A and B are shown apart, each in its own frame.
Chain A
Amino acid sequence: MQRKKHSLYYALFLTIFGSILFIVLVRSYYDYDHTKHEVATELEAELKNTGSSLQKSVAGYVDSYAVNEYEKLVKHAMEDDDIAAILISDYNMANILGKKEYISGYIKDNKWHIREYDVQNIEQTKLLENAFFRETQELITSDGSLVGTISIYISDRHLNEQVQRIIVQNIVTSIVLAFLLVALIFFTMNAIILKPLLRMIKTIEESDHEGVPSEYLEEANSKELDTLTKAMNKMIASIRKSRERLKEQERNLVFQAHHDPLTGLPNRLLFQDRLTQGLKKADREKKRLAVFFIDLDHFKEVNDSYGHETGDILLQNIAQRLQGVIRAHDTLARLGGDEFTIIMENLGDSVDISNLAQKILNSLSSPVVVNGTILYVSSSIGISLYPNDANSVQDLLKYADTAMYKAKDEGRNNFQFYNAQLTQLALDRVVLEVSLREALRKGEFVVYFQPQIDTELGEICGMEALVRWQHPEKGLIFPDAFIPLAESTGLIVELDRYVMKVAMEQVFNWREQGLNPGVLAMNLSVKQLEHHDFIETFKRLMYAIGVKPEWIELEITESQLMRKPEDAIKVLQELSDLGVSLSVDDFGTGYSSFAYLKKLPISKLKIDKEFIQDIPKDEEDIAITKAIIVLAKSLNLKVLAEGVETRDQKEFLLREGCRFVQGYYYSKPVNVEQMEKMIIEGVEE
């Protein structure tokens, strides 16, 4: 429960009034005590005086048996207001009357009337007992004889009256004084503290919707309040500043949430928002709208070869170029990676669109210099239109993407408008992915082997294991149709492992049969290498089947190898340590660094078939092939040429020092049975 809060006025009143009352009460008590003591002393002195003066006269009267005389004297003395009783013990009378004592005198009753003393009156006895003070003196005559005693009783009646008067006076004075002081202190406190405080409260209460005072506090008179005011103003200023900072941060956050940090372009979120708005506007104004989906060609290779830093600078550069090409009111966004989108509004006809697309292609085709490296970039552009193709954000983007793939398929560096057929293509991709998974589960993939020939000896020296998909409906499907999709979906890891297992089991079988299949070469995807448990899995598989490491050669493409060469070196070194041979596949198509090439634990280079197929017609290919062979020899590496289809090619290669070949000239990839036959019977030219 919340305690009730009291006003400062209330607390102030209580404190001041209480304090003053306390002081005054203490003072009153002191006065009372002092006065009481003083009056009591006075009374005692008076009593002694009265006693002394009465004593002589009374003694004389007692001595002369003038009882009535001393009684009169006593009665007269009783008129003194302070005296409560005077009693004479008369020895002479006691003697005469034959009594133990004879006491006479006067006493004042409760109404302060003088009464004759009566020994037997209980009330009088009580009054005497309650007397404030008693003085008894002996009655001694002039000749020195003791004739009795005189006792004078003093009442505290007078004392109490006086003390009561003092108390009343003090209380009245105290209360008046207390109220005056309270009023004075109130007035002062009010002027100095409470009013300024109330002003402060009022100013603080007049705040904006976030509770921050709208105005700064006014200066106060007193030092402390002024300090408080300054502190409050400082706080208000600080709150305002931090609010500004927060707003700035919020703006930044909003910006960051809607923009790509690398290029500063709108991100997917903002793009979608802009597109939504654009669609509404286009709908209202009955205008057309185009969505461009731009994907850089071979950007992946740039990243792989030169690193992300270079790739990032290239992207920034591209963004700037695109920004320069589009119209002021068009929206350029980066969706991620090397994907850019443009929303083009207020379109006239498709010529405008084509012009822009061509401008983009032109703009991006000129080389970009990054850190001294000249990079050649091209792009593929897909375009979807509203309201022609679709009328939703998702569809427009999806169709532009599909069109972009069409452009890629069309050999890159071109733009394609979306049409309904493209949608079918995209659908096919999805269907294929599902089928891939299904095939893997059902074991529809089969391993084919293509023999590798030592041309010097004319013998099979090994074979490359290649995967084929034995589709139940479509028949045998070649890897080009499903490997890219398997790589992009990550299915390649599982597929590779499957192929490796089947191939190694076959090689083991042949060896068991006493055949010599030579070295088994198998493709290794970089995705496989990146898998943390690959080495362990491969090792277990190898030992489980029973194959020896020296029977195995793993091929990795040049482009994949150079993507993260440092990481590759580490994993490949482990594989090499196992005793497995390693070769670089498709050599010459990528951008190999010789420095890395030297460091890699490889034993073989495989010349890409691209360089072989036009030999001996193409002089350039001949030169490159020769150079690769020389390079391999200088690095003390074996060299194998792929795609050998003619005798000329075989002989050229042999002449140049490349004795190991693979290609249709000897055999296309074949199934197990055919391969087994070739191992037993040998190959024919």
Chain B
Amino acid sequence: MLLSIFLLPLHATEKSKLVYIVSDIEIPFWNIMSRGVIKQANELGYTVEVYSAQNNNKKELEALAKSIQKGIEGIILSPVSSSSAATLIKLAKKQNIPVVVADIGSESSDYISYISSDNRKGAYDIGKILARQFKQRGYNKSSSIGIIAIPQNRENGKLRTDGFLEALSEEDIKTADLKQQRDFSCQETYNFTKELLEKYPNIKALWLQGSNRYKGALKAFEELNREDVMLVTFDAEPEFSLLIEEGIIVGAAMQQPYLIGKEAVKVLDDYFHGKRIVKNIELPVLAISKENVVKNHKVIQTNVLGIVE
């Protein structure tokens, strides 16, 4: 009873402190998500501090330690890895601090909710878009698709591959090969694209499971004089709406990081208010092609790109 009396005025009068620990704020996806977090927190009357781990375990842990010292009341975590997430969740739990995991996932399930994109559905949808293009262009059965994937030990990587391959399988389209990213550099994507196209001349399309190194792929197309190869991606860059309209990129499965950030804060708020919490929340991935890009322009601007007026 005493505790309730003490807590109640705290929530009512003072702004509760939240922390958003993010793997790397420099990466647009996380940057967009952070804006969603901040936006929603402000709207609900929380103060929020954002700590970037700079894709470093140590910094991530230091951020947590700092947060604990500051006496924060809730954590939104987009971890360096699902493994590191487990450690942070464990440590937070010891201090009775609730954690909402926003994307990436966690090897621990001691979070109050995990909010992610429906990677499988998004990949499936983009696979279907590509298949339509295949048919429209009249590619025969000898034609195939190359994949440059994020590491397949990542849960989201696996889901993306599964959903995409399911769609292709339904359309009877073969996959030539799959390359996994290691250093996530532009050069790596360029090299992989080149290798795939040289090794498999029948490749008529390339699917990038990440969006940010698409330029490496385009450069390889150009050098090999294979501008005919269709490019589809998972995720999107601000310029994608235009590139899709121009047909340079055939389609993109677009996650909604801004929406995820907002949703994470909402779940925490619900938790503080004792509402029922859904443990795993999967937000839809937008499958955007030339046909629907214009129609979804506003949604893409806010939820995908975090551009808010």
Contact = CB atoms under 8 A, between A and B. Distances in A.
Interface of A: 64-69, 71-72, 92-93, 96-98
A65 B58 contact: yes
9 contacts: A65-B56, A65-B57, A65-B60, A67-B87, A68-B83, A68-B85, A71-B86, A71-B87, A72-B83
Nearest to B91: A97
B61 interface: yes
Given A65-B56, A98-B69, 10 more contacts: A65-B57, A66-B57, A67-B57, A67-B84, A68-B90, A69-B83, A72-B83, A93-B61, A96-B65, A97-B91
Nearest to B63: A96
B107 interface: yes
Contacts of A71: 86-87
A674 to B, nearest CB: 170
B198 interface: no
A95 to B, nearest CB: 10
Contacts of B57: 64-67
A262 to B, nearest CB: 135
A98 B65 contact: yes
Contacts of B83: 66, 68-69, 72
Dominant secondary structure at the B interface: helix
Contacts of A65: 56-58, 60-61, 84
A364 to B, nearest CB: 150
Contacts of B85: 68
Contacts of B69: 98
Interface string B42-76: 00000000000000111011100100010000000
B84 A66 contact: yes
Contact of A92 (B58, B86, B90, B107): B58
A143 B85 CA distance: 27
Contacts of B84: 65-68
Contacts of A69: 83
A92 B57 CA distance: 11
B298 to A, nearest CB: 40
A201 to B, nearest CB: 87
Contact of B65 (A64, A72, A97): A97
B24 to A, nearest CB: 15
A65 B54 CA distance: 14
B87 A68 contact: yes
Contact of B58 (A72, A96, A98): A96
Interface string B3-27: 0000000000000000000000000
Contacts of A97: 61, 65, 91
A70 to B, nearest CB: 10
Nearest to B66: A96
Nearest to B87: A67
A584 B87 CA distance: 160
A117 to B, nearest CB: 12
A61 to B, nearest CB: 9
Interface string B89-119: 0110000000000000001100000000000
A561 to B, nearest CB: 151
Contacts of B58: 64-65, 92, 96
Contacts of B86: 68, 71
Nearest to B58: A65
Nearest to A102: B91
B107 A68 contact: yes
B87 A96 contact: no
A76 to B, nearest CB: 13
A68 B107 CA distance: 8
A226 to B, nearest CB: 89
A97 B107 CA distance: 21
Contacts of A64: 57-58
A344 B263 CA distance: 162
A64 B59 CA distance: 11
